[in-house]
Amino acid sequence: MELTTPKPSIFRRISTALHNHPGLFLLLLLALPLGWMLLVYIGSLIGLLIQSFFYLDGFTGQVVRQFTLRTYGDLFTRPHMEIFGRTVAMAASVTVGAALMAFPLAYYTVRYTSRRLRAILYLLILLPLWSSYIIRVYSWKLILAKEGIVSWFVGQLGLTAVLDWVLRLPVIGGPSLSISSLGLFLVFLYIWLPYMILPIMASLERVSKSLGEASGDLGARPSTTFRYVTLPLAFPGVVAGSIFTFSLTLGDYIIPSVIGDSSPFIGMTVYSYQGTSGNIPLAAAFTVLPITIMAIYLLVARRLGAFEAL
Amino acid sequence: MTFAIEFNNVSRHFGEVRAVDDVSFTVRDGEFFTLLGPSGSGKTTCLRMIAGFEQPTAGRIVLYGRDVTTLPAYDREVNTVFQDYALFPHMTVGDNIGYGLMVRKVPKPERERQVAEMLKLVRLPGMERRKPSQLSGGQRQRVALARALINHPKVLLLDEPLGALDLKLRQQMQVELKAIQHEVGITFIFVTHDQEEALTMSDRIAVFDMGQIVQIGAPSDLYERPRTRFVAGFVGTSNILSGETAVTITGSAQPFSVRPEKIRLVDVATAVPAAHCAIEGQVQDVVYVGMHTRYTVALPSGEEMIVVQQNMDVTPQNGTAVRGKAVRLVWPRAANNVLEEAIG
Amino acid sequence: MRVKSNVNRSPLGLTVTAVAVLIFLHFPFFIVMLYAFTTDETTFTFPPPGLTTRWFGVAMNRADLWPALFLSLKVAIIATAVALVLGTLAAAAVYRSRFFGREAISFLLVLPIALPGIVTGIALRSMMGLTNIPFSFWTIVIGHATFCVVVVYNNAIARFRRTGRSQLEASADLGADGFQTFRYVVLPNLATALVAGGMLAFALSFDEVIVTTFTAGQQSTLPIWIFSQLTRPRDRPVTNVVAFLVVTITAVPILLAHYMTQDARES
């Protein structure tokens, strides 16, 4: 029964060498992806941080590579803080709006559908997520235009006066929906909504149906069950979703430059500082703010158990 | 004489957990050797170390005189039948069985001939083209067996291979496995937590508890002479008597075990024969199990003893043993098995 | 009708809200489709005054559109290839062994899409500034590959976890070395997950615009071309037609990727 073992092939010898040195094998597997991410990405983030301590010489237009806090001095000025406040306010309202819209759809999909319908709904929620971002933004330019479908529809309902009244409101109003903060809010909401729906669905799927039945069995009315069982268990999903909606709104500059009244947001400001004015140090310092916010946000989210729902 | 397998002080620790702790044993060539124990007792880890899926943290494993302790799984002349069969779902039955030959570059016609032969051995002739998903549990089991045997391993490792089958099929496969072992004549290492299965199939059994072997022996040794309380309780059912009760019966406090079927239930008035032990008690419970009837008898000390009586008469209940009645338990002194533990 | 009886009836209010949200998610696509055929040249009038297909011809003849499309395709192909290699390696490493910092790897990979896009963009841009690397095709690819890795990684690791570890052990047990196990067992199991992950990475790269604007310099990918059409409108009907084409064409890989992972989930 002795098997004649031929001289092992080169592959087999490599395989055996890796078997004998599992640490080396792991290192080989990780070298490329880890090296790439550390070098390209983490390296860049560190580079960004370093740049924020340089400054732009106003006369020569050249970046001076010398450690200074001047750029941060420029950052903490009133106009910049207004931009900052506006962006955070928008990100927060988009997050709340997305949670309010996402929850019913997620709850309906997870709780009240057959397997077949659930698969279809799942696909319908995924499709916008993966579709072209820029086209989806563009579509709202068509929808919100003064002569577009929303105005037309409101007119058909005879509510044009109401729309005009809304547009005359301070802060959220503007000449048309397309050039108002309200319109901007709608587009942000539309673009990032799927990022809120999916984590909520994932966390609801983990809430077993029998928990609800147990609660009902113990005498709770459906509304009570929802309040004390379903909602707390689904909450990590909402937090996980909010990471995306908040962060993505914070860092977007395409949407506010296409829709809205062109009042600046963080993204647009960063873009214009690095682009037209070539002030990369200030642009870098600017992004340190959203990074800090997101770092705090992630730490809180982690404590709330949102990472399991990602 | 070379052993099929030698374990020399083998340990496998996962951090603080000692899955296998300083285990030594030898398996003879051609033996049907069973590793028996409750889950988490270390038996499966031992099997996986023989296969090469896990490495011992200490000790040596020797396979037919060759130290294989650190050899990768693919260089060991052993094959495994997995608990979940681990058939490759994307390959046909034929490709599954021929896999070992294919990776050794055996030419296709030769491979096909051997696959057909193996399918005949496991009584699934002509099934080459099926996919594993089209087979029943019992059939998958046979394919897994054929896939392992085609490589002519020196040792076949079976990891609870019958666990997923229902009782009838399991009993049938037990017989077939023995027959196949007889036919191919190689060493089988069999892992199970089912003591009855172990007793029926094995030449020798190693009983595992908490990462260590507590006793090795032939089935009858283990059954008749369990060395510890654990083995006495795990392999079959035992009455374990110690302390005052032991003193009452034997005159010594040394704990001992006695099997329920060695005991007879008699009327309290019946005299105790010579060289027999006896104790009186009250019948607590009577369970009719068909082939036999099982009685639970409460002793004056509050302990309980189990007694099993063959139902040799047409009417099983002989009148002495109704619930609540006082009875005398009698058994030959030779049936007492002294346990290796300190009196205390 | 056994399945039906397991499903409770939803409260009417909930059903209506859910359907409304679904419509909100999808009606913009129909608007894009419709406007590709409008005869209106200068405004976004609804309902369209008339329908025509002539803008498709006009769009085909726009000279600046084609280089943008080809650049996007080239970038997406290379970035996807890089992401496939890096994502699969990372997934294999994380699946294969327990090592300190496993979670950190997943976290590191997801960071480029979890942090605001502007951060990733400006970080890469500032790195290029620091090291004096000029803008090129490759600067776009590097940026795209970085945020595409996580998509491949997620798909691959999910499939690895579904492929029982015992299959890999069985292969080694039967005499296959690491390379043979990879070729005959891992790859066939992983194939559809990699194709799906690759398609999603492709879709992600193909329409990325935020990071790209920072790493592209004067080059124009298709999304950048569309973006410039939005901010400096010229030939609105052409934009509409391109929007229509992008929506319909990108739907194909997304749907395919979905069905490929769906099959594996059910079998």
* Portion 107-166 of C in contact with A at CB < 8 A: 108-112, 114-120, 122-127, 129-130, 142, 145-146, 149
Q: Taking CA atoms, what residue in A is nearest to C98?
A: A26
User: Residue A185 has which token pair?
Assistant: 């809010």
Domains of chain B (ranges; CATH) run: 5-234 (3.40.50.300), 239-338 (2.40.50.100)
Residues C80 and C212 in one domain: yes
Q: What is the pLDDT of residues B146-164, one digit of tens each?
A: 999 999 999 999 999 888 8
- What per-residue confidence (pLDDT) applies to C75? 95
C65 at A interface, C-beta within 8 A: no
Per-residue confidence (pLDDT) for residue C233, from 0 to 100: 65
Q: Which residues pair with B310 in a beta bridge?
A: B292
Residue C242 has pLDDT above 90, yes or no: no
Q: Which ipTM did the prediction report?
A: 0.83
Decide if pLDDT at A23 tops 50: yes
Identity of residue B77: E
Of B72, B151, B154, the CB nearest to A19: B72
Same domain, C88 and C157: yes
Please state the three-class secondary structure of chain C as a single string. Answer: CHHHHHCCCCCHHHHHHHHHHHHHHHHHHHHHHHHCCECCCCCCCCCCCCECCHHHHHHHCCCCHHHHHHHHHHHHHHHHHHHHHHHHHHHHHHHHCCCCCHHHHHHHHHHHHHCCHHHHHHHHHHHHHHHCCCCCHHHHHHHHHHHHHHHHHHHHHHHHHHCCHHHHHHHHHCCCCHHHHHHHHHHHHHHHHHHHHHHHHHHHHHCCCHHHHHHCCCCCCHHHHHHHHHHCCCCHHHHHHHHHHHHHHHHHHHHHHHHHHHHHHHC
Task: Check whether residue C40 and residue C144 sit in a common domain.
Answer: no
DSSP letter at A39 equals I
Helix (H, G, I), strand (E, B) or coil at A63: strand
pLDDT of residue C263: 58
Instruction: Report the gap between the CA of A24 and the closest CA in chain B (Å).
Output: 15
pLDDT reported for residue C267: 41
Q: Which residue has the higher pLDDT, A129 or C87?
A: C87
Tell me: do C46 and C131 sit in the same domain: no
Alpha-carbon gap: C3 to the closest alpha carbon of chain A (Å): 7
pLDDT score of B317: 55
C88/C108 Cα distance (integer angstroms):
15
- For residue B144, give how far its alpha carbon lies from the nearest alpha carbon of chain C (Å): 10
Quick check: B103 and C184 CB within 8 A? yes
Query: Which positions in chain C touch B78 (Cβ < 8 Å)?
Result: 173
pLDDT below 50 — which residues of chain B? none
Token pair 């996402």: residue: A102
Cis peptide preceding C47, ω within 30 of 0: yes
Nearest-CA distance from B74 to chain C in Å? 4
Domain membership of residue C249 (yes or no) is no
Q: Do C153 and C172 share a domain, yes or no?
A: yes
Residue A161's pLDDT is 85
Question: B-chain residues within 8 Å CB-CB of A7?
Answer: none
Q: Among positive and negative, which fits the CA dihedral C221, C225, C230, C232?
A: positive
Alpha-carbon gap, residue C61 to B21, rounded angstroms: 78
Per-residue confidence (pLDDT) for residue A1, from 0 to 100: 41
Give the dihedral sign, CA B312/B314/B315/B319. negative
Same domain, C74 and C12: no
Most confident of A219-233, A271-285, A291-305, B123-137: B123-137
Residue of C nearest to A256 (CA): C231
Query: What's C80's domain CATH number?
Result: 1.10.3720.10
Q: Do A1 and B154 touch (CB under 8 A)?
A: yes
Asked if B44 and B107 count as a contact pair (C-beta separation under 8 A), the reply is: no
Q: Which of A71, A138, A246, A262 to mutate to test the interface with C (most CBs of C within 10 A)?
A: A138
Mark yes or no for CB contact A3/B77 under 8 Å: yes
B255 min Cα distance to partner chain C (Å): 44
Residue C135 in domain = yes
| Per-residue model confidence (pLDDT) at position A234 | 82
**Phi and psi for B136 in degrees, rounded to 5?**
-80, 170
Same domain, C160 and C71: yes
Average the pLDDT over C87-103 and give the result.
Answer: 81
Cβ–Cβ gap B72/A16 under 8 Å: yes
**DSSP assignment, residue A306?**
G
B75/A16 Cβ within 8 A: yes
CA–CA distance, A99 with A117 (Å, rounded to integer): 23
The Cα of C181 is separated from the nearest Cα of chain B by a number of Å equal to 9
CA distances from A189 to B3, B109, C21 (A): 73, 64, 11
Beta-bridge partners for B20: B12
What tokens were used for C115? 């942090």
> Which of A13, A19, A20, A21 best tests the B interface by mutation, with the highest count of B CBs <10 A?
A19
Q: Which of C242, C202, C200, C22 is nearest to A139 (CA)?
A: C242
Task: For residues C95 and C112, state if they share a domain.
Answer: yes
Residue C250 resides in a domain: no
- Tens-place pLDDT, residues A96-114: 999 999 999 998 988 888 8
Q: Which amino acid is at C4?
A: K
Q: Report pLDDT for A309.
A: 53
Q: Which domain holds residue C34?
A: 2-56
Q: Tokens for A53? A: 């301590």
Asked if pLDDT for residue A199 goes beyond 60, the answer is: yes
Q: Give SS3 for A117.
A: helix
Query: What mean pLDDT comes out for the span A229-237?
Result: 81
**How many CA atoms are closer than 13 Å to the CA of B221, on its beta-carbon side?**
11
Where are any strands of DSSP class E within A62-154? 63-64
Residue A20 has pLDDT above 90, yes or no: no
The span from the CA of A58 to the CA of C63, in Å, is 40
d(CA A27, CA A30): 5
Residues from chain C that touch A151, judged by Cβ atoms under 8 A, are 46
Dihedral of the CA atoms A264, A267, A273, A275 (nearest 10)?
A: -120
Asked if C173 lies within 8 A of B51 by C-beta distance, the reply is yes
Q: How many CA atoms lie within 13 A of C76 on its CB side?
A: 24
Task: List the single residue in C14, C200, C226 with the smallest CB-CB distance to A107.
Answer: C14
Q: What is the reported pLDDT for A145?
A: 85
Chain B environment of C180 (Cβ under 8 Å): 103
Task: For residue A56, give the H/E element and its range.
Answer: strand A55-56
For Cα atoms A24, A27, A33, give the angle at the middle one, nearest 5 degrees: 160
Q: What is the pLDDT of residues A55-79, one digit of tens each?
A: 887 777 777 778 888 888 888 888 8
Interface of A with C in 221-240 (CB under 8 A): none
Residues C125 and C165 in one domain: yes
| pLDDT > 90: percent of chain C | 22
Closest CA to A258 of A194, A179, A191: A179
Give the N- to C-terminal CA distance of chain B in Å, as an integer. Answer: 43
Asked if residue B122 lies in contact with residue B102, where contact means CB atoms within 8 angstroms, the answer is no
Residue B139, pLDDT score = 92
pLDDT digits (tens, 9 = 90+) for A128-150: 888 888 889 988 988 888 888 88
The model's confidence at residue A29, banded by pLDDT at 50, 70 and 90, is: confident
Count of CB contacts below 8 A, B vs C?
66
CA distance linking residue A232 with residue B328, whole number of Å:
63
Residue B276, pLDDT score: 93
Clarify whether residues C11 and C124 are in a common domain: no
Number of Cβ within a 10 Å radius of residue A241: 31
When scoring B14, B88, B96, B156 by the number of chain C Cβ atoms within 10 A, the one with the most, hence best to mutate, is B88
* Phi, psi (deg, nearest 5) at residue C59: -60, -40
Q: Mutating which of C168, C173, C184, C186 best tests the B interface, going by the most B Cβ atoms within 10 A? A: C173
- The first and second tokens of residue A213, run together, are 């039945």
Asked whether residue C118 falls in the same domain as residue C185, the answer is yes
CB A56 within 8 A of CB A70: no
Residue C162 predicted with pLDDT over 50: yes
A window 176-205, beta carbon within 8 A of C: 190, 193-194
Does the beta carbon of C258 lie under 8 angstroms from any beta carbon of chain A? yes
Test mutation, A13, A41, A246, A248, chain C, max C CBs within 10 A: A41
B77, B101, B187: best mutation site toward chain A, by most A Cβ within 10 Å? B77
**C80 Cβ partners below 8 Å, 6+ apart?**
C148, C198, C201, C202, C205
Query: Which residue of A143, A149, A290 is in closest CB contact with C116?
Result: A290
Predicted pLDDT at C96: 78
Which residues of chain B neighbour C167 with C-beta distances below 8 Å? 86, 88
Integer Cα distance of A175 and C95 in angstroms = 56
Q: Indicate whether C246 belongs to any domain.
A: no
Cα–Cα distance measured from residue A284 to residue A273, given in angstroms and rounded to the nearest whole number: 9
Residue C95 lies in a domain: yes
C132 lies in some domain: yes
Write out the two tokens for B185. Answer: 């004549």
Give me the pLDDT at residue C80, please: 95
CB within 8 Å of chain B, chain A residues 20-79: 20
Q: Closest approach of chain C CAs to the CA of B172, in angstroms?
A: 25
CB C211 within 8 A of CB C224: no
Q: A-C interface: how many C-beta pairs under 8 angstroms?
A: 276
pLDDT 10s digits, C129-154: 778 888 889 999 999 999 899 889 98
From the list C229, C255, C256, the residue with the least C-alpha distance to C242 is C229
pLDDT at C84 over 90: yes
H or E segment to which residue A55 belongs: strand A55-56
Whether residue A274 and residue C125 make contact (CB cut-off 8 A), yes or no, is yes
C167·B86 Cβ contact <8 A = yes
Would you give the distance in Å from CA B28 to the centre of its chain?
A: 17
Residues of B with CB under 8 A from a CB of A: 70, 72, 74-75, 77, 104, 151-152, 154, 186
Buried b (16+ CB within 10 A) or exposed e, B171-206: eebbebbeebbeeeebbbbbbbbbbebbbebbbbbb
Angle at A74 between CA A69 and CA A79, to 5 degrees: 155
Of the three residues C23, C38, C56, the one that is the final residue of a domain is C56
CB contacts, 8 Å: A10 with chain C: none
Q: Which strand ranges, in their side-by-side order, compose the sheet holding B5-14?
A: B17-27, B5-14, B58-63, B66-67
- Interface size A-B, in CB pairs within 8 Å, comes to 15
Is the model more confident about C76 or about C13?
C76
Q: Give the integer Cα–Cα distance in Å for A30 and C86.
A: 9
Same domain, C87 and C34: no
Q: CB within 8 A of B204, min separation 6: which ones?
A: B27, B31, B32, B33, B34, B216, B217, B218
Instruction: Report the domain count for chain C.
Output: 2
Q: Nearest CA to B79 among B155, B140, B28, B6?
A: B155
Residue C257 is assigned to a structural domain of this protein:
no
Count of Cβ atoms closer than 10 Å to residue A6 Cβ: 9
* C263: in domain: no
